[in-house]
Amino acid sequence: MKKATLLILILIGWSSIVFAQKDRSLALTPPMGWNSWNTFASNINETLIKEMADAMVSSGMRDAGYKYLVIDDCWLAPERDSLQNLQADPKKFPHGMKALGDYIHSKGLKFGIYNCAGTKTCAGFPGTRGHEYQDALLYASWGVDYLKYDWCNTDGINAKEAYTTMSKALEATHRPIVFSLCEWGNNQPWLWAEPVGQLWRATGDIGCSWYNQPHTDGSWTPNGIIQIINLVAPLRQYAGPGHWNDPDMLEVGNGLPVNEDRAHFSMWAMLAAPLIAGNDLRNMSEETKAILTNRGVIAVDQDSLGIQGLRYEIKDSVQTWMKPLKGGDWAVCFLNTASQPQAIDFDWKANVVKDSLSNAELNANAQPYVIEDLWTNKTLGNTDKTLKATVPSHDVLMIYLSKQQKAVSKKKHR
Ligand code: GLA
């Protein structure tokens, strides 16, 4: 080979490592999937994960859009092997991660895994610090499609640098791997992570509660659903196709009353949030399944415009959220945070909404919309009339506004 050609090849190889950037074709809509942590924490193993893959298919979750099956913390053996490779806990995962990934893929799902930017994961297993390229190559060899990357045991390191290193390591594998940053919003990842990953946690951990409530072990206080909504609301300009604010995984089906589950799911859709279920899919109630697979609500979350909803007003404990959608339609969600039912009286013509972020305008004076309730699938008339309704406590009225002339064909597509 001529010297010049050799030099060019070396330069191409070198630049693909040094200047690697995240894969911009990934997560053009918020990722959807299931994660083991919220229900199972450290109690995971190969049988459980296979059963969950089966349940993602048989429950209809996969066909509703949930495709990433993510194994969270506690899958690792306590030490790396003699070559410093990570290894799965041989008791929990006797056939190893490649075989498990193959099983997950055989179900038409994608394979997600967890590690941490620090020296150890949050549960104390080997972290990635100093092994970024080695671990990325190992994940790629196992067929990993998604990496959740946590932030425990990272004393003194720079978040932007640590996450950028892992992003480059993933990119250097040439396998499309969604990179999910999980540093809890501590270092404002929304300001720097757009070129680094596809989603970033914007808050500390979610708890299965409406408002902040101390953990059952009393040692810390996870975020309630309302606190998370308040934390993510001001970040809407940072979200968009390929880069999402992550308000944490879903607690739907984990013990909240059905109205709170419905409100939680509706609001995650309004926030264009990743929809990562965290319940036991093998024995969901019909109510839980109906919430998680509501096609109309999922379509709002997955809308290709990729605009995070805006909080238009808060009145009498009712938050009115608006989300502009592709083609000029809108989703609107009235969230009642009060402990009693609240009446809604919303005059569309008196409320012209101009969203400077998307340049979308909701102006019922110029364009009437047909209103459909996304939870009952009933039509609620159109925007010529004031909307009057009562929203139960800790619940929502979530509606879809279709431009009047398109209403019929739109419905057929959902
Ligand atoms: C952190 C993360 C959680 C979960 C645990 C696992 O707390 O924020 O989502 O991954 O670690 O240890």
- Give the pLDDT of residue 215: 84
Predicted local distance difference test score (pLDDT) of residue 387: 98
Contact 183 CB / ligand 1 (< 6 Å): no
pLDDT at 218: 84
Ligand 1 within 6 A of CB of 251: no
pLDDT of residue 17: 46
Q: Which residues of 354-392 are buried (b: 16+ CB within 10 A; e: fewer)?
A: ebeebebebebeeebbbbbebbeeeebebbeeebeeebe
Query: Given the structure tokens 């942590």, which residue do they identify?
Result: 37
What b/e string do you get for 138-175 counting C-beta neighbours within 10 Å, with b at 16 or more? bbbebbbbbbbbbbbbbeeeebeebbbbbbbbbbbbeb
225 CA → ligand 1 middle, Å: 17
How far, in Å, from the CA of 76 to the mean position of ligand 1?
Answer: 14
Q: Is the C-beta atom of 145 inside 6 A of ligand 1?
A: no
Query: CB under 8 Å to 245, separation ≥6 — which residues?
Result: 190, 199, 200, 202, 232, 235, 236, 238, 239, 271, 272, 273, 308
User: What atom of ligand 1 comes closest to residue 123's alpha carbon?
Assistant: 12
Q: Cβ(182) to ligand 1 under 6 A?
A: yes
pLDDT at 214: 83
DSSP 189: G
CB 71 within 8 A of CB 53: no
Residues in the chain with pLDDT values less than 70: 1-20, 406-414
**Atom 8 of ligand 1, nearest CA residue:** 205
Q: From the CB of 261, is ligand 1 less than 6 Å away?
A: no
Measured CA to CA in angstroms, residue 410 lies from 12, 113, 304, 378 at distances of: 47, 37, 15, 14
Give the residue from 76, 85, 1, 75 showing the smallest Cα distance to 36.
75
Looking at the CA of residue 182, tell me the nearest atom of ligand 1: 8
- Using the mean position of ligand 1's atoms as its centre, give its distance from the Cα of residue 97 in Å: 20
Atom 12, ligand 1: which residue's CA is nearest?
122
How far from chain centre, in Å, is Cα 26? 13
pLDDT single digits (tens) 319-352? 999 999 999 999 999 999 999 999 999 999 999 9
pLDDT of residue 20: 52
Residue whose Cα lies nearest atom 6 of ligand 1: it is 73
What separation in angstroms does the CA of 109 have from each of 35, 50, 103, 326, 410?
A: 13, 11, 9, 27, 28
The CB of 205 under 6 Å from ligand 1? The reply is: yes
Does 99 contact ligand 1 (Cβ within 6 A)? no
User: What's the gap in Å between 119 CA and the centre of ligand 1?
Assistant: 15
Burial class (CB in 10 A: 0-12, 13-18, 19+), 117: buried
Q: How far is the CA of 402 from the centre of ligand 1 (A)?
A: 39
Torsion of CA 193, 195, 197, 203, to 10 degrees: 20
Residue 37 Cβ inside 6 Å of ligand 1? The answer reads yes
Q: Is residue 72 within 6 Å of ligand 1 at its C-beta? A: yes
Nearest atom (ligand 1) to Cα of 121: 12
- Give residue-wise pLDDT tens across range 269-298: 999 999 999 999 999 999 999 999 999 999
Whole-angstrom CA distances from 105 to 99, 278, 281 are 10, 20, 18
CA of 35 to the centre of ligand 1 (A): 11
What is the whole-number distance in angstroms between the Cα of residue 122 and the centre of ligand 1? 6
The torsion angle over the Cα atoms of residues 147, 62, 248 and 220, rounded to 10 degrees, is: -90
Residue 329 Cβ inside 6 Å of ligand 1? The answer reads no
Distance from residue 368's CA to the centre of ligand 1 (Å): 46
122 CB near ligand 1 (under 6 Å) = yes
pLDDT for 300 equals 98
Write b or e for each residue in 255-283: b if 16 or more Cβ atoms lie within 10 A of its Cβ, otherwise e.
ebeebbbbbbbbbbbbbbbbbbbbbbbee
Nearest to 175 by CA among 22, 348, 326, 387: 22
The number of residues making up the chain comes to 414
Task: Give the residue numbers annotated as catalytic, written as ranges.
Answer: 150, 205
Choose the residue to mutate in 153, 181, 182, 206 for probing ligand 1, maximizing ligand atoms within 8 Å of C-beta: 182
What is the pTM (predicted TM-score) of this model?
Answer: 0.94
